[in-house]
Amino acid sequence: MTGRAKIIGTGSYLPKRILTNKELEKIVETSDEWITTRTGIRSRRIAGAGEETSKMAAQAAIKALTMAGVTARELDMIIVGTITAEMVMPSCACLVQKEIGAENAFAFDVSAACSGFAYALEIADRYLKNAPDMKILLIGAETLSARVNWQDRNTCILFGDGAGACVVTGSKDENGLLASQLYSDGRLWQLLSLDAVPRRYCPVVDYKTIPDRDSFCDGSAFNMVGKDVFKHAVREMGDAVENLLKREGITVDDIDLMIPHQANIRILKSLAERVNLPFEKVYTTIQKYGNSSAASLPIALDEANREGRLQKGDLLLFSVFGGGFTWGVVLLRW
């Protein structure tokens, strides 16, 4: 197979500030024990000054470009999956373009919530079918800490900030993206939504001030029906994985590693059980970073890659789910 997307470099950036569950106990009525048992999250990263979404995205991009041996000027296209760009216009992708000096690329954002990175990869793959020599930078980057309501314990404990990136080009061998399927269902939007809050109402806070509650954005912009989201996530991701494997004529035993969107360790365990994949084959970062929406998958991919967990020829599954609802699955040979 030729011309389909092959990942040739990965990178990630995590904010320096670590916010632990113990610190959250001082901000909302919660406990380390509750958060750990219900979500698996022990800490998350929180962006500070100089760690805006586009700045983190650019840092992740530079690492991915270095690994790929591609210069920024060689890039043809930049796609950023994000729901927390610092501006509505220009796109985060254009700010990244400026930041890294990718003047020959065209750049745009994809809004698909936590599924943003998989959506971006699918778009890149379609371009590469017609133009396999293109070099494309894909990023997932989020600053959710600037948008969540830090007085709502139902949601603020879940999210974190960060960015992950990869460089893709057309595959010249049997490695690369083999199959994918994206979905969305706008009828269910009210189960998970984030208002379009003007930035002036919700500034990126200097998080050295934690636990000063008053310095957080307190707009009730984030709406979530947690139990319903949980059920849909397991069901839709499970169906998507099973349908894709069936369509491609492979079994779950052929999968070497699943790298899913990191929402909740219990969602990931239920998903693994549902599709009969041993949990050792599910890569997780949720314990350290919480749910960083579109950034979570490319951050996990980069960590797995740099740890040497991905061997050439491995069969990988990406599985995503997010607000919209949006969801999808990607099968690729590393």
Contact footprint for ligand COA (CB under 6 A): 30, 34-35, 38-39, 114, 153-154, 157, 192, 224, 226-227, 229-230, 263-264, 291, 321-322
Residues 6+ apart with CB under 8 A from 265: 39, 40, 41, 284, 286, 287
Query: Does residue 12 contact residue 292 with C-beta atoms inside 8 Å?
Result: no
Please give the angle made by the CA atoms of 275, 268 and 83, to the nearest 5 degrees.
120
Of residues 90, 84, 74, 86, the one with CA closest to residue 137 = 74
Q: How far is the CB of 70 from ligand COA (least distance, A)?
A: 31
Closer of 231 and 309 to ligand COA (Cβ): 231
Closer of 34 and 127 to ligand COA (Cβ): 34
Closer of 211 and 226 to ligand COA (Cβ): 226
SS3 13: strand
Cβ neighbour number for residue 240 with a 10 Å cutoff: 23
| Residue 166, amino acid | C
Q: Scan for tokens 């500034």, then name that residue.
A: 203
**Which residue's Cβ lies closest to ligand COA?**
226
Closer of 29 and 253 to ligand COA (Cβ): 29
Q: How far is the CB of 226 from ligand COA (least distance, A)?
A: 3
Query: Does residue 303 contact residue 12 with C-beta atoms inside 8 Å?
Result: yes
Closer of 298 and 322 to ligand COA (Cβ): 322
SS3 87: coil
Q: How far is the CB of 303 from ligand COA (least distance, A)?
A: 19
Residues 6+ apart with CB under 8 A from 313: 175, 333, 334
Interatomic CA distance for residues 158 and 224, integer angstroms: 11
- Would you name the residues annotated as active-site residues? 114, 261, 291
Closer of 82 and 264 to ligand COA (Cβ): 264
Q: Scan for tokens 């139990």, then name that residue.
A: 227
Q: How far is the CB of 27 from ligand COA (least distance, A)?
A: 10
Interatomic CA distance for residues 233 and 319, integer angstroms: 10
Closer of 169 and 292 to ligand COA (Cβ): 292
CB burial readout 181-196, b (16+ within 10 A) else e: bbbbeeebeebbebee
| Residue 55, amino acid | K
Cis peptide before 260 (omega within 30 of 0): no
Run of H or E including 6 = strand 5-13
Residue 57 is encoded by which pair of tokens?
Answer: 């995205």
